[in-house]
Amino acid sequence: MDTDRFRKYGHEIVEWIARYYETIERYPVKSRVAPGEIKAALPPLPPTGSESFDLFLRDFDEIIIPGITHWQSPNFFAYFPANSSPPSVLAEMLTAALGAQCMIWETSPAAAELEERMMEWLREMTGLPPDFEGVIQDSASSATLAALITAREKITSYRSNSEGMQSAGRLRIYASTQAHSSVEKGAGVAGFGRDNLVRIPVRKDYTIDPGALREAIENDISAGYVPCCVVATLGTTGTTAVDPLRAVGEICKEKNIWFHVDGALGGTALLLPEMRWMADGIEYVDSLVFNPHKWMFTNFDCSAYFVRDAAALIRSFEILPEYLKTRTRGKVNDYRDWGIPLGRRFRALKLWAVIRSYGVEGLQSMIREHIRLAAMLAGLIEAEKSFELMAPVPLNTVCFRYAPPGMSDEKTNRLNEKINHTLNDTGSIYLTHTSVDGKYVLRMVTAQTGVTEEHVLKAWEMIRECASAVLAQDGAIDID
């Protein structure tokens, strides 16, 4: 493709994107295709000769778009958001155009130094301690894995990297029953073994029980295990519970355990001074991750990983083959040493675009509004006799269920599952669910970039109507 045609299609694609954002609410939020449908529409073999880019664009519209779930729709209330924004998308286009491999400072000094500065900005914006240093990772899962590996290396005096886990002793990790599956995955990948992740019970509000944590650690020590890392969560995936950092941190300090905080979703709320209560006890934290690619309008992927002892992180990951030796080594940040992959995308650029475009106050007002919308929805649910609020709402996520009086839990579960599928099949909104104490719970997240009070109220109206309709249709007797 020559530059003339690149220019022509580039303009068309930007026009396509602008129109997409303007008309996004016309698409069914959740894709309606059946398994295998998209693949069947794709030729089994690649073209041998060049094809027109017009055909690519036609197939994008006709084959791909029907199989897309529209995460950027303001009617997307599912999972946690992967929200984006126009400045982020534009900067991402530039990142793709540069195609820079930002593994070390020399392979693009601007990428390394912008990343360094962006992490300082984020640290300042979230009120994190000045001795935290940061790096952008692809995902919270990778950042948590990096934390587990660093904790493992530190406790084994950096021997497990060279000698393997034989030298490590019987290391243990602790996290609440509500912690994200990435902690368990990390425990396996980092060689602890998934069975050595000890799941700590939660309190009534689904936050980790510090008393139970202490007991588990002390029992383990008596049994000859070596406690290595505790992971607390700011905003658990199920109900957005906020674990108490101070109570957990005090135990970690006393027992000399690495303390990692998974703030994948909730960390963004630290932009708001009124939400900084979540960071009480941060002085005990060794590492923390949060995802601008979830709730800070920066398109996937972009995870901000902070660590207090950057030297320990680097020592755990650095490796220096001949071809990566440079004259600047030791004088600059070579971010390949700060995580798992060698190759790194220029992610700081979109973060820079987002922060400059909205300004800190702009970001704060959007995040604050999302929290207000969740509180408003929680109020509406509480006021409705046949609905139950199933967990506290500290952030942007509301957990609830339709619970007609006198119905057994088992039937109520089936009823809510059916309501969820019926709502999602309409294509008008998209909600997902979780399980709380064995109860099927609907989850609605009010954190999409374009979500407004009107969207939330409309969705709530639909939920109420759908709940009564499903109940009337299937009766209280036979909900399948």
Ligand X SMILES: Cc1ncc(COP(=O)(O)O)c(C=O)c1O
- Contact footprint for ligand X (CB under 6 A): 80, 139-141, 180, 182, 233, 236-237, 262, 264-265, 291, 303
Question: Beta 303-307 vs 287-290: how paired, if at all?
Answer: antiparallel
Closer residue to ligand X in complex, CB, 145/257: 145
Q: Please give the Cα distance from 309 to 258 (Å, whole number).
A: 11
Q: Across the strands, what pairs with 433?
A: 442
User: Quick check: 106 and 325 in contact, CB under 8 A?
Assistant: no
Centre a 10 Å sphere on the Cβ of residue 99 and count the other Cβ atoms it contains. 8
b/e string for 116-135 if b means 16 or more Cβ within 10 A?
A: bebbebbbebbebeeebbbb
Nearest distance in Å: CB 436, ligand X: 15
Minimum Å gap between C-beta 230 and ligand X is 15
Strands 303-307 and 133-137: antiparallel
- Residue 349 CB, nearest distance to ligand X (Å)? 19
Beta-bridge partners for 234: 242
Judge whether 243 and 208 are in contact, CB under 8 Å.
Answer: yes
The whole-angstrom separation of Cα 450 and Cα 428 is 15
Q: How far apart are CA 36 and CA 59, in angstroms?
A: 16
| Closest to 74 measured CA to CA, from 395, 420, 455, 427 | 455
Task: Using the minimum distance from each CB to ligand X, give the nearer residue, 168 or 271.
Answer: 271
| Cβ-contact 140, 182 below 8 angstroms | yes
The residue (of 303 and 449) whose beta carbon lies closer to ligand X is 303
Find the shortest distance in angstroms from Cβ 173 to ligand X: 15
Residue 137: CB minimum distance to ligand X, A: 8
Report the C-alpha gap between 324 and 316 in whole angstroms. Answer: 17
* Lookup: tokens for 123: 């640290």
Name which of 150 and 303 has its Cβ closer to ligand X.
303
Nearer to ligand X, 111 or 231 (CB): 231
Choose between 324 and 340: whose C-beta lies nearer to ligand X. 340
- Measured from the CB atom, is 236 or 413 closer to ligand X? 236
Shortest Å distance, C-beta 112 to ligand X: 22
Supply the minimum distance, in Å, between the C-beta of residue 276 and ligand X.
19
Which lies closer to ligand X via its Cβ, residue 237 or residue 420?
Answer: 237
Taking the complex as a whole, how short is the minimal distance between the CB of residue 388 and ligand X, in angstroms? 23
Provide φ and ψ at 416, rounded to 5°: -70, -35
